Amino acid sequence: MHIAFNMWCLWDLGALCESLYGRWTYAAIYLITGVAAGLASVGWNPGTLSVGASGAIFGLAGALIASFYLGELSVPRVAIQGTLRSLLFFVGFNVLFGTMMSGIDNAAHGGGLVSGLILGALIARLAPQQDNVGRRAVVLIFMVLIVGSAAFGIHRWRGSGIHFGRSGVDARENVDRMIGELQKKVKQSPQDASAHYALAHAYFTNGQFPEGEGELKRVLDLQPQNIRARMDLGAAYLDHEQPKEAQEQFTHVIAQDPNHVGAHAGLGVALADQGNHAAAIDEYKNALRLKPKTRGVYYRMGISQAELKQYDDAIDSYSKEKDESGDDAELENALADAYQAKGMTSQAQEARSKAEQMIGGQKDGR
């Protein structure tokens, strides 16, 4: 649905942009604002991969809004007002949708929109006529310089971690070579926390947990307030069945940022892994209070509630997880266990049967 909606918007806005600006200007706007959207995404979420066309589509919308608002183009005023309202509704609806749904990169949307507004305003004011090729070219080159300067600024802001983080995507083919490059980097710049951070994740990719742990600790020596590194260290401890150490890291993050949803959820898992399910439930509730639609937390809370024989609460939590994240075999089996513990045999059999069907469907798919 997301791809289909993007393509519909591109078809609709693209046709309008192409007719208004001309073919080559339209293509340049799409490309420039798409790059700007990507830069905004990297700047805001440097450790997250983001794909899609919606940043550039927001760029087209921004360019049209600015041009229509300034009213320097040869389009009837009545048509401008109606189209402007539609564009503003499109932007407002999608920003609201992005804040409500997980997995949507609003940073990219914002970068595309802002760069599109700037570019549309410059075109409308300085080069509204399609046949004025020289002025159009100057405007586009000026915008390329702005985006290039932003890229340079983001690289300096985020440091070498951007470069090495990107390399990490390809590192699975040759992780040893990447580790060697990063080892040289940290040797040359031992105070570069971002290089130590990248090396830690290269070690983790290669299955070298002690070395990765050591590099994350080095990052925290250099930057004690680095929440991302501390969260990653806590997650690594959980993966390697060291819940007490994970608890220490997540507790430290909460002391820095009491509203960190991931830290509360991670602390809940660490406490549950140590058998302290009552305290774990409190942390899961804290995470859900801060962000009710956090995926996986209801499921984890249900497990702890079942361990405490709070089966009604566990069933309620599993049902909420189904509503938030969708159904799967693991969730149905957990529901079946809770129903069985309450003596609800028919419901338990139904859930178990559903889980078996899901597992069978997965095997058929393979």
What pLDDT score does 261 carry?
93
pLDDT of residue 173: 53
Give 187's contacts (C-beta < 8 A, 6+ positions apart): none
Q: How confident is the model at residue 358 (pLDDT cuts 50, 70, 90)?
A: confident
| Residue 309: band (very low, low, confident or very high) from pLDDT cuts 50, 70, 90 | very high
pLDDT average, residue stretch 275-283: 96
Give residue 364's pLDDT band: very low, low, confident or very high (50, 70, 90).
Answer: very low
Q: Among residues of the chain, what percentage have pLDDT more than 90?
A: 41
Cα of first residue to Cα of last residue in the chain, in angstroms, is 24
Alpha-carbon distances of 146 from 35, 115, 122, 152, 267, rounded to whole Å? 11, 9, 13, 10, 43
Q: What pTM did the predictor assign?
A: 0.55
Q: Give the residue from 28, 52, 44, 48 showing the smallest Cα distance to 115.
A: 28
Instruction: Look up residue 12 and give its two tokens.
Output: 């609709």
- What is the per-residue pLDDT for 169? 45
Q: What structural domains does the chain harbor?
A: 2-158 (1.20.1540), 295-366 (1.25.40.10)
Mean pLDDT of 141-151: 89
**Six-digit token string for 225:** 């307030």
Whole-number mean pLDDT of the chain? 84
Complete DSSP assignment for 192-228: -HHHHHHHHHHHHHTT-HHHHHHHHHHHHHH-TT-HH
Comparing 81 with 277, the larger pLDDT belongs to 277
What gap in Å lies between CA 52 and CA 65, rounded to an integer?
A: 22
**Backbone CA torsion sign across 126, 130, 134, 136:** positive
In the structure, what pLDDT confidence band is assigned to residue 18 with cuts at 50, 70 and 90? confident
Contacts with 357 (C-beta within 8 Å, 6 or more apart), sequence order: none
Tell me what the mean pLDDT of segment 68-86 comes to: 62
Cβ–Cβ < 8 Å for 127, 135: yes
Residue 197 confidence (pLDDT) above 80:
yes
pLDDT in tens, 219-228: 999 999 999 9
Lowest mean pLDDT among 34-48, 148-162, 199-213, 331-345: 148-162
**Closest to 113 measured CA to CA, from 64, 47, 162, 173:** 64
Alpha carbon distance 197, 266 (integer Å): 20
| Structure confidence by residue, pLDDT tens digits, 88-143 | 777 776 666 666 565 677 788 888 889 988 998 888 888 877 778 888 899 889 99
CA nearest neighbour of 265 among 277, 275, 280 = 280
